[in-house]
Amino acid sequence: METFKGYLRSDGSAGVRNHVLVLPSVLCSANVARRISSAVPGSVVASHNQGCAQLGDDFKQTRRTLINTALNPNIAAVLVVGLGCERVSPHELRDIIQDHGKPAEVIMIQDYGTVEAIERGIAIVKDMVKEVSKIERKEVSLSSLVLGMECGGSDFSSGLSANPVVGQVADFLAKKKGRVILSETTELVGAEHLLFERMSDESMKQRFTKMLQRMIDESLKNSRDVVDKENVPNNISPGNVRGGLTTLEEKSLGAMIKGGKVPIVGVKEYGEVVDAEPGLYLMDTPGYDVESVTGMVAGGATVVLFTTGQGTPTGHAIAPVIKITGNRQTAKKMSDNIDFDCSTIIYGEETLEESGRKLFDLVLRIANGELTKAEVLGQDDYSIWNVGIKL
Amino acid sequence: MKQAIMLSVNDNVATVLEKVAKGEEIEMKGTSQVGTIVAKEEIPFGHKIAVRDIRKKERIIKYDNKIGVATADIATGQHVHIQNVASERTEIKEGGERA
């Protein structure tokens, strides 16, 4: 299968969903935004707690992430909900979204108060949902797919099965000229020598080194703390430790396989949109799952492949999140949350490639409109990585 | 017999595929270079067991790559985890002391 049925956007990109997005510019307008969205099924909300009292790179990162979230191909139209006095400009957000050919409107709470702002917002969003429902899915090339690769709640099984299976999907998609994003900078520490080998560009290597160093410096400040009376490493979670992971290097070596063997064509800042060139992009994000996924979705990921050992309910407001585990106990205990069980390869019941083919088929079905378990359960996570002190 | 998986012949640890009690014999999957190993202590599900003796400050090798350094001597069959391993990249300062 060389195509999937997606929603073609005016900039030539293709979404796998056709959402109307209610986007608060700032924490102060998030409650109103959530109420508007909850009144109109068919809309989604990207509720977050950034947008003001931020400076420099921290502010730029929030602004970039909000803009690029709205520009994700899964979004058909946007209502920006502003307060009125915040640092992120709601009117500027609307203008940029419109300049990219996407319908967008803005309402400001300070113009009306909560009740009227919600009423006006609902009126706008219901019209948008009706309008975008006229857009039909069309056959588009697999090269339009952008996958975000994530792992969370990792354990011993992640590096043995789920991450290698996801790596197979990365390799399959790369053959079809698609794009893949690998994030979680922290979880590349200790595996960087294997990634450097796949970079041709010297400046790319330098940017990657700088990204890694920031995480290493933070880790060294506070290497261990007592959790549940045990002295555990801080840069991996207590659940990782219980699940058999001992050091960050061990976790990273298991995690980086999610990018398969795809040549690395770019190193991106958090929430920065990937280029048109097919291949693997590394994005600077924390290992904190929802923030990492949000960065990749802002970067253009339309489907997220999320491996988990211990299990997690994580989904995303903008993109379907497919949950994959290699831990048979987790697949059983958390069947509500797990979309794909690849523990078969640990026990020699299936080959890595067989499991990878099955997962690729599932990715295509999800791209064509089948819902993930996180979508069915309304798991609409969204969180922007905050890198400064708020004033 | 209970099983553990070794990912490379160069590895000095293996991952047990079920909980192993002290004294139980474990069969190694993934390579024929190492025969069976007897667990010197309980090894929890998914945790690592030493497949040969490892000296303090020696590197722990898994996936044919270094994953940390031993902070104590570890005997074949012992549990290899945070109590006897530190991250070389994020826990060890210059001079070899823990951060």
pLDDT above 70 as % of chain B: 92
Please count the residue pairs, one from chain A and one from chain B, whose beta carbons lie less than 8 angstroms apart.
97
A302 alpha carbon, distance to own chain's centre: 8
Please say whether the beta carbons of A5 and A369 come within 8 A: yes
Task: Provide CB contacts within 8 A for B3, sequence distance 6+.
Answer: B16, B17, B18, B26, B27, B28, B29
* Residue in B with minimal Cα distance to A218: B90
Provide mean pLDDT across the span A251-277: 97
Closest CA of chain A from B70, distance in Å: 11
pLDDT, one tens digit per residue, over A129-138 is: 999 999 999 9
Query: Residue B15 above 90 pLDDT?
Result: yes
* Average pLDDT of the residues of chain A: 97
CA–CA dist A269, A282 (Å, integer)? 9
CA–CA dist B44, A245 (Å, integer)? 12
What pLDDT is recorded for position A126? 98
CA dihedral over A277, A283, A288, A290, signed as positive or negative: negative
How far does chain A reach from its first CA to its final CA, in angstroms? 52
Query: Residue A143 above 80 pLDDT?
Result: yes
B chain contacts of residue A229, beta-carbon cutoff 8 Å? none
Provide mean pLDDT across the span A339-368: 97
Phi, psi of A358 (to 5 degrees): -65, -40
* Residue in A with minimal Cα distance to B79: A244
Query: Residue B74 above 90 pLDDT?
Result: yes
What pLDDT is recorded for position A229? 85
Chain A contact probe: residue of B11, B20, B80, B87 with most A CBs at under 10 A: B87
Could A246 and B67 be called an inter-chain contact, meaning their C-beta atoms sit closer than 8 Å? yes
pLDDT, one tens digit per residue, over A359-379 is: 999 999 999 999 999 999 999
Which of these, A115, A99, A103, A96, lies nearest to A75 by C-alpha position?
Answer: A103
Give the count of beta carbons closer than 10 Å to the beta carbon of residue A253: 24
Query: Residue B91 above 90 pLDDT?
Result: no
Query: Residue A1 above 80 pLDDT?
Result: no
Total residue count of chain A as it appears in this document: 391
Provide mean pLDDT across the span A36-42: 96
* Residue in A with minimal Cα distance to B66: A249
pLDDT bin (cut points 50, 70, 90) of residue B98 is low
Could B86 and A155 be called an inter-chain contact, meaning their C-beta atoms sit closer than 8 Å? no
Could A223 and B82 be called an inter-chain contact, meaning their C-beta atoms sit closer than 8 Å? no
DSSP character string of A26-66? SGGGHHHHHHHHHHSBTEEE---S-SSS--HHHHHHHHHHH
Chain B contact probe: residue of A250, A333, A347 with most B CBs at under 10 A: A250
Longest Cα–Cα distance in chain B? 44
What pLDDT is recorded for position A231? 85
Closest CA of chain B from A216, distance in Å: 6
Could B67 and A223 be called an inter-chain contact, meaning their C-beta atoms sit closer than 8 Å? no
- Nearest by CB to A223, from B46, B67, B90: name it: B90
Query: Residue B99 above 70 pLDDT?
Result: no
CATH code of B1-85, in short, is: 2.30.130.110
pLDDT bin (cut points 50, 70, 90) of residue B5 is very high
pLDDT bin (cut points 50, 70, 90) of residue A225 is confident
In chain A, DSSP assigns E strands to 3-8, 14-15, 19-24, 43-45, 75-82, 104-108, 138-141, 146-151, 179-182, 224-227, 230-233, 264-268, 279-283, 303-307, 321-325, 340-341
B chain contacts of residue A329, beta-carbon cutoff 8 Å? 45
Closest CA of chain B from A186, distance in Å: 10
CA–CA dist A189, A250 (Å, integer)? 9
Could A235 and B82 be called an inter-chain contact, meaning their C-beta atoms sit closer than 8 Å? no
pTM comes to: 0.97
pLDDT above 90 as % of chain A: 95
Query: Residue A272 above 80 pLDDT?
Result: yes
pLDDT, one tens digit per residue, over A296-341 is: 999 999 999 999 999 999 999 999 999 999 999 999 999 999 999 9
Please say whether the beta carbons of A15 and A146 come within 8 A: no
A chain contacts of residue B29, beta-carbon cutoff 8 Å? 348
Provide mean pLDDT across the span B17-28: 96
Task: Kindly report which listed range (A203-207, A231-235, B94-98) carries the lowest average pLDDT score.
Answer: B94-98
- Nearest by CB to B90, from A194, A231, A248: name it: A248
- Nearest by CB to A220, from B46, B63, B90: name it: B90
Please say whether the beta carbons of A109 and A117 come within 8 A: yes
Which of these, B18, B88, B10, B54, lies nearest to A329 by C-alpha position?
Answer: B18
The domain locations on chain A are 19-132, 141-376
Closest CA of chain A from B86, distance in Å: 7
Provide mean pLDDT across the span B21-50: 92
Give the count of beta carbons closer than 10 Å to the beta carbon of residue A336: 11
What pLDDT is recorded for position A45? 98
What pLDDT is recorded for position A221? 87
Higher pLDDT among residues B99 and A164, named by residue: A164
A chain contacts of residue B88, beta-carbon cutoff 8 Å? 247, 249
What pLDDT is recorded for position B31? 75
* Residue in A with minimal Cα distance to B85: A246
Q: Check residue B10 and report its DSSP letter.
A: T
CA–CA dist A251, A350 (Å, integer)? 24
What pLDDT is recorded for position A223? 84
HEC string of A250-268 equals: HHHHHHHHHHCCCCEEEEE
In the chain, the amino acid numbered A390 is K
CA–CA dist A310, A307 (Å, integer)? 10
Could B44 and A235 be called an inter-chain contact, meaning their C-beta atoms sit closer than 8 Å? no
Which of these, A144, A176, A151, lies nearest to A165 by C-alpha position?
Answer: A151
pLDDT above 70 as % of chain A: 100
Superfamily of domain A19-132 in CATH is: Response regulator (3.40.50.2300)
What pLDDT is recorded for position B94? 61
Provide mean pLDDT across the span A62-78: 98
What pLDDT is recorded for position A2? 86
CA–CA dist A95, A83 (Å, integer)? 17
CA–CA dist B54, B71 (Å, integer)? 10
The CA dihedral of A293, A295, A299, A304, to the nearest 10 degrees, is 0
Could A223 and B48 be called an inter-chain contact, meaning their C-beta atoms sit closer than 8 Å? no
CA–CA dist A391, A209 (Å, integer)? 30
Could A254 and B63 be called an inter-chain contact, meaning their C-beta atoms sit closer than 8 Å? yes
Provide mean pLDDT across the span A257-283: 97
Q: Check residue A370 and report its DSSP letter.
A: P
Could A246 and B45 be called an inter-chain contact, meaning their C-beta atoms sit closer than 8 Å? no
Residue B93, CB-side half-sphere exposure with 13 Å CA sphere: 7
pLDDT bin (cut points 50, 70, 90) of residue A69 is very high
The domain locations on chain B are 1-85
Query: Residue B33 above 80 pLDDT?
Result: no
* Residue in A with minimal Cα distance to B86: A247
Which of these, A234, A208, A212, A153, lies nearest to B91 by C-alpha position?
Answer: A234
Provide mean pLDDT across the span A113-120: 98
Query: Residue A43 above 70 pLDDT?
Result: yes
Could A219 and B93 be called an inter-chain contact, meaning their C-beta atoms sit closer than 8 Å? no
Q: Check residue B40 and report its DSSP letter.
A: S
Query: Residue B92 above 90 pLDDT?
Result: no
CA–CA dist A15, A35 (Å, integer)? 25
Task: Provide CB contacts within 8 A for A276, sequence distance 6+.
Answer: none
DSSP character string of A217-280? HHHHHT-EEEETTEEEESSS-HHHHHTT--SHHHHHHHHGGGGTTPPEEEEE-TTPPP-SS-EE
Provide mean pLDDT across the span A143-148: 98
CA–CA dist A15, A303 (Å, integer)? 9
Supply A385's token pair: 């990585």
pLDDT, one tens digit per residue, over A188-206 is: 999 999 999 999 899 999 9
